[in-house]
Structure 1
Amino acid sequence: MSKKNTFPTKGDVIARTPDPAVRAILEHLDQAGIETSFDRFDAQKPHCGFGLAGTCCKNCHMGPCRITPKSQRGVCGADAHLIVARNILRWTAAGVAAHGARGREVMLALKGAAEGALDLPILGPEKVVATAKAFGIFDENKAIPQMAGEIALILLEDLCRTIPGPHRTLEAMATPERLSVWKELDILPVGAYHEVFEALHRTTTGTDGDWENVMRQVLRCGLAFAWSSVMGSAVAMDCLYGLPKRSRVSTNVGAITENTVNIAVHGHSPVLVAAILAAARRTELIEEAKEAGAETVRLYGICCSGHSALAKFGDVTPLSNAMGAELVLATGALDLWVADVQDVFPGIMDVAACFHTRVVTTSDSARLPGAEHIAFDHHHSNLDQADQLAQRIVRRGIQAFGERQAGKVFIPPARMDAEVGFSVENITATFGGADRLLEHLQSGRIRGVVNLVGCNNPKVVYEEAVVKVAEELIAHDVVLLTNGCAAFALLKMGFCLPEGVTGAGDGLKSVLGPLNLPPVWHMGECLDNARASALFKGLALTAAEPLRRLPCAFSSPEWSNEKGLGAALGFRLLGLNSYHCIAPPVAGSDKVARFFAEATRETLGSVMVVDGDPVALARRIVADFDERRAALGWAPCGPPASARLMALQQEAGHAHAHAHGHPHHHEHP
């Protein structure tokens, strides 16, 4: 296939990455002869055309079967449409399981805290009250722990229901308009566990042979993903740990300090990470760190564990998404790497060994050969031991501090401040109400709102697509929400600072400037897509319009895994278009591809748009927003900004270097 040779190389990443620290560390690793995911991606080329098209079936051992002009059906008789549909259903089911599995842990923790079985305070009483009211279980005579316990049981039931019944989270929190659509399509889920169970059942040998029926199950899994695995998990987290708190932090590898015990938390599960953060603040452990020669203990965030803890508690420095984890390890300045679940690539072990970084795994779901295992067990029977486990883990970091090899420490100076901790509640309060935010949209000062998220994918230059989409959208007066892996690029490159409005259009400047707000609102980890959907819902209810009519959208330019597909589906099911630079593996079936891209316009009110050019993709979003605005009769928007944020920052950097006599270069990445 012609596309086999169009993916970027590691050399392209070095030449074009928006982050100078990525360039510096990749060159540093090249000199040391240490491979990373970028090298392994190059070694995989040319990629399998059948895999890219989704037309390879391995669901039984009569194959694997692949669809070609010569062989248009598998051994069982499945054609390309059925094979592609079955493969994408298994992808979707895996996403439901991924977010649901780690969500279950925090739901169990909320239940244990409510019952007094765990020594955990319930830090989100306001979220408990709001959720109890939504579920219809609020009573002024009930104590917060009692309501929290009832909420935990509802969330767990929606997650694992086997006897058909109402999905209470979905019915309490979705809009009536959407509920009507989903009921008419017969895609309301029984429960997350059941829909994953059913998805695997339908795709086994000789079961569901109708590609359209298989795709209906994809939509059911999409709803289970959005309303149990994501929304249910996010509700439990906010009840247990409280709402995000606005703060200003430093990001990127230049924020690593050498004279401290440095512990990275990597993954997605918040329960033990929250305990590790508390342990790192304990006086006796800080004294032990000082006795070992360090000033204190510091935590650094990789992927979503860091985002989550940062938003709730502070004191975590966000460094990198999953794709860049090996690059952070290559600084040689991390003493301990704490890995829980998801987006923890096995390749980190080789890089960690080169720099004498200890690795500890903390979940029975995700072990790594060569790592020490200090974890919750398979039955979560030791959730009540989180504090003891956390203290053991921090002490491992203190012990490892003395083993750090000073000659191998390499920390590029790239560093950026960022503002984090946005929520629906504090955004609404900042604007003085959802009606005021809506007024800015109606007037054209804000063109629209996009949730810009997603993991990274080496099929495009690392972080480039996210940055280019972001700077083009804010130049057209679009407010951005972000979370998870994509957020790191925006944090590192200045989009999450009020100064980022220099790259915005006049309309957005006039709104955000007086409020001292950045053009990108960082909402936390990937589960915090729930915050974006809640903000969209609030705008729809305030406008008295269905979401499918509003200038709101979802974009994951660099998406790469099953959870990313689930996230896109979750917003598509709300009636919002999704926009990507990478196509899903469905090209082998024109029918399934059409279902994904176009056919849902009539049923869901949304489509999927794919364009490999991130600037063109952003302009498509702008054009679609203008079309929706015109249909609503809202005011037209002004022209875009003449310059883009990255160019403005580069010019400012050159001017600073000239003024202070610093060496610099004028090449543009």
Structure 2
Amino acid sequence: MTPEELRAHRASYPSRAQVRETTPDPAVRALLDLAAEKGISTVFDRFDKQKNHCGHGLTGVCCKVCHMGPCQITAKAPRGACGADADVIVARNILRWLAGGVASHGARGREVILALKAAAQGKLGQPIRGVEKLKSVAKALGLFHEAKSVETLADEVADVLLEDLGRTLPGDHKTLHAMAPPERIALWREMDILPIGSQQEVFEALHRTGVGTDGDWQNLMKQFLRCGLAFSWSSVAGSAIAMDILYGLPKRSTITTNVGSLAPGFVNIAIHGHSPVLATAILEAGDDPDLIAKAQAIGAEGIRFYGICCSGLSGLYRHGEVHPLGNAVGAELILATGAIDLWVADLQDVYPGIMDVAECFHTKVVTTSDSARLPGAIALGYDHRHANIDQTRAMARHIVELAIANQPLRQAANVTIPAVSAEAEIGFSVENIAEAFGGLDQLAEALRSGRVRGIVNLVGCNNPKVPYEVGITRVAEALLAADILVLTNGCASFPLLKQGFCSSARRDRAGTALRGVLDRQALPPALHMGECLDNARASGLFRALADLAGQPIAAMPFAFSSPEWSNEKGVGAALSFRLLGLDSYHCIPAPVSGSANVQRFFEHDTRATLGGGMVVIPDPGELGRRIVADLAAKRGRLGWPVFDSEEMP
């Protein structure tokens, strides 16, 4: 974006009132009114008070690395006190952002890998359910032997994943070398961006961006790409592998979503955050007949669970009966219903503001991670060393008992549940998508023929710089109308869940040709692939289809889009797909426009080296049309049929 475009974009940030007017979800509108009536501050109110946002921060030219500053780059002051120019300052800032993203997903990934190792050693009391996944991963890593027990294999795989996460001695990243496309590995080696390990690359990124260290913006961007690969293959892929081995592959099922799913007659527990380990044990404790009897003894019908953000989606995929209500930005609105008895928060995307809303009602909040405490919440979970991981089931039971004890304090007069709900089909994976199509070769053929014109992974967070959930919704509408299949996961999936995009009954949202394919398979127009870590499933599907077509991923009519991205992990997610050679599409720019060189690197230079660049168009409808056009161009380069909408087969 040019400075003029950025100023126009900043002026377009919606107000709370505009969010209320434009939201595609009537429940959000009702809950915003409820919050206003009760004097509850939400993220939208606080965002309004932050305007006008600092232009130096938005463009990435504010440096706070040392205490000679903060330094802001302007026409009058083109260099900071140390002599760093806009290129270096912008590069340092965005590299630090990405390092934070690697650490964020890596920390929650480390917890589940530690849980896998504890299960293998008999310390967790959790069976290893993904045995076939374990065997396939062990074979890829060269660990498999028929004589080895499941527990031995799981322990050895966990060790490899932990080694890739924390390697300090120079060496190959084993997961990447075992599972990445060979043509990509060759390219990354040629570019000298192969990572040593996640923790080492974060360590190096923070070192390089310190006072008086790396003053070459291009060298900083090389480290940026290394961090991107560490994010992809340890923080995301490594974490996803451990989850699938420990808890098993996703199971397809149908669930009701949105706040109309709240059942006042039950003990209601919300699961919020990103780590599945204690959350899964809590869900299983909810099935305990003794605890159900205790809930019934206080007059409740039973125990019911609800999903906020990714922990809820992860539990839903494997346990079932966790009703998705909202994403991280909408959490305060869900709390404002007054219908939640206990809110279990682990880590990441749990805003401190939820405590103010919980205090307005009877809701208790329990935090389960030492890295994510909230003042006023009950801290009940893992210690800093995870030394008490063997107490997982006991802690889970105690947390459910807290919810049961708190339910009688709920006052019916304080409960308001908008009667808005939808049905959604969830639980898609590469394996069961192949099964649904009668083999991935059938989907590959539909893609080649043009009955499916392309596939887009539509994901990401939410950001109040775009009207809430509007960006994701409009991009999805544009893609489906053009016969492009949508994959979704994480926070961005909630508006699609709530509005029927994930329901097979709403195949009418798709264009004629795509609808014909979906009708034959009885599939919804948007395939819900899980939590944000499950970007690994989308990239796995892309790899499998590209292999069937005999093409590199970069040549295929695939794309990544996170219209409303908002945090450090979002930088890593988009970069992961650009590293595979795919374009990423967004409504919100990265804070790099203060440097023409770094902005060009993001938007254009990586297209020449990697095959994928960053496309930013604030209007979501226009962004959707750009994706459609770009995928059509890819089809043309492949020599595959390219159709106008009225000519589709």
Matched residue SS, 1:120: coil
Of all paired residues, the percent bearing the same amino acid is 61
Are 1:607 and 2:624 counterparts?
no
Matched-pair contact (CA < 8 Å) for 1:124–1:238? yes
User: CA offset at residue 117 of structure 1?
Assistant: 2.4
Residue among 72, 84, 108 paired with 1:78: 84
Match of 1:277 in 2: 283
Matched-pair contact (CA < 8 Å) for 2:501–2:509? no
Q: Deviations over 1:193-217 (max 9, x none)?
A: 0000000000000000000000110
Task: Report the AA paired with residue 286 of structure 2.
Answer: A
Match of 1:666 in 2: none
Q: After superposition, where does 1:567-606 map in structure 2 within 5 Å? A: 567-606=573-612
- Provide the C-alpha distance between the structure 1 equivalents of 2:550 and 2:139, rounded to a whole number of angstroms: 22
Matched-pair contact (CA < 8 Å) for 2:430–2:540? yes
- Provide the C-alpha distance between the structure 2 equivalents of 1:313 and 1:265, rounded to a whole number of angstroms: 13
Match of 1:504 in 2: 510
Q: After superposition, where does 1:62-73 map in structure 2 within 5 Å? A: 62-73=68-79
TM-score with structure 1 setting the length: 0.95
Matched-pair contact (CA < 8 Å) for 1:507–1:638? no
- Provide the C-alpha distance between the structure 2 equivalents of 1:87 and 1:66, rounded to a whole number of angstroms: 13
Are 1:517 and 2:523 counterparts?
yes
Matched-pair contact (CA < 8 Å) for 2:9–2:618? no
Match of 1:479 in 2: 485
Residue among 161, 170, 179 paired with 1:155: 161
Match of 1:207 in 2: 213
Q: Structure 1 stretch 131-140 or stretch 583-592: which is displaced more?
A: 131-140
Matched residue SS, 2:151: helix
Task: Report the AA paired with residue 458 of structure 1.
Answer: P
Match of 2:313 in 1: 307
Q: Deviations over 1:117-169 (max 9, x none)?
A: 22110010010011111112111221211111111000000000000111010
Deviating runs (4+, > 4 A) in structure 1? none
- Provide the C-alpha distance between the structure 2 equivalents of 1:174 and 1:378, rounded to a whole number of angstroms: 33
Cα gap change, 1:255/1:584 in structure 2, threshold over 3 Å: closer, same or farther? same
Are 1:370 and 2:376 counterparts?
yes
Task: Report the AA paired with residue 434 of structure 1.
Answer: L
Match of 2:422 in 1: 416
Task: Report the AA paired with residue 126 of structure 1.
Answer: E
Match of 2:452 in 1: 446
- Provide the C-alpha distance between the structure 1 equivalents of 2:488 and 2:11, rounded to a whole number of angstroms: 31
User: CA offset at residue 3 of structure 1?
Assistant: 4.1
Match of 2:554 in 1: 548
Task: Report the AA paired with residue 55 of structure 1.
Answer: V
Match of 2:4 in 1: none
User: CA offset at residue 293 of structure 1?
Assistant: 1.2
Residue among 210, 224, 228 paired with 1:222: 228
Match of 2:140 in 1: 134
CA RMSD between the two structures = 1.0
Match of 1:188 in 2: 194
Task: Report the AA paired with residue 201 of structure 1.
Answer: H
Q: Deviations over 1:321-356 (max 9, x none)?
A: 000000000000000000000000000000010112
User: CA offset at residue 638 of structure 1?
Assistant: 5.0
Match of 1:240 in 2: 246
User: CA offset at residue 566 of structure 1?
Assistant: 0.3
Matched-pair contact (CA < 8 Å) for 1:81–1:592? yes
Cα gap change, 1:59/1:329 in structure 2, threshold over 3 Å: closer, same or farther? same
Match of 2:25 in 1: 19
Q: Structure 1 stretch 99-108 or stretch 128-137: which is displaced more?
A: 128-137
Q: Structure 1 stretch 128-137 or stretch 185-194: which is displaced more?
A: 128-137
Cα gap change, 1:617/1:640 in structure 2, threshold over 3 Å: closer, same or farther? farther
Matched residue SS, 1:362: strand
Match of 1:649 in 2: none
- Provide the C-alpha distance between the structure 2 equivalents of 1:5 and 1:616, rounded to a whole number of angstroms: 19
Matched residue SS, 1:35: coil
- Provide the C-alpha distance between the structure 2 equivalents of 1:574 and 1:291, rounded to a whole number of angstroms: 55
Q: Deviations over 1:215-263 (max 9, x none)?
A: 1101000000000000000000000000000000000000000000000
- Provide the C-alpha distance between the structure 2 equivalents of 1:383 and 1:523, rounded to a whole number of angstroms: 28
Are 1:295 and 2:301 counterparts?
yes
- Provide the C-alpha distance between the structure 1 equivalents of 2:418 and 2:122, rounded to a whole number of angstroms: 47
Match of 1:628 in 2: 634
Matched-pair contact (CA < 8 Å) for 1:504–1:641? no
Match of 1:10 in 2: 16
Matched residue SS, 1:231: helix
Match of 2:3 in 1: none
Q: Structure 1 stretch 631-640 or stretch 149-158: which is displaced more?
A: 631-640
Match of 1:99 in 2: 105
Matched residue SS, 1:591: helix
Q: Provide structure 2 residue ranges, at least 5 long, that are not aligned to the other structure.
A: 1-6
- Provide the C-alpha distance between the structure 2 equivalents of 1:418 and 1:438, rounded to a whole number of angstroms: 25
Q: Deviations over 1:59-98 (max 9, x none)?
A: 1111000001111100000001100000000000000000
User: CA offset at residue 600 of structure 1?
Assistant: 0.8
Matched residue SS, 2:645: coil
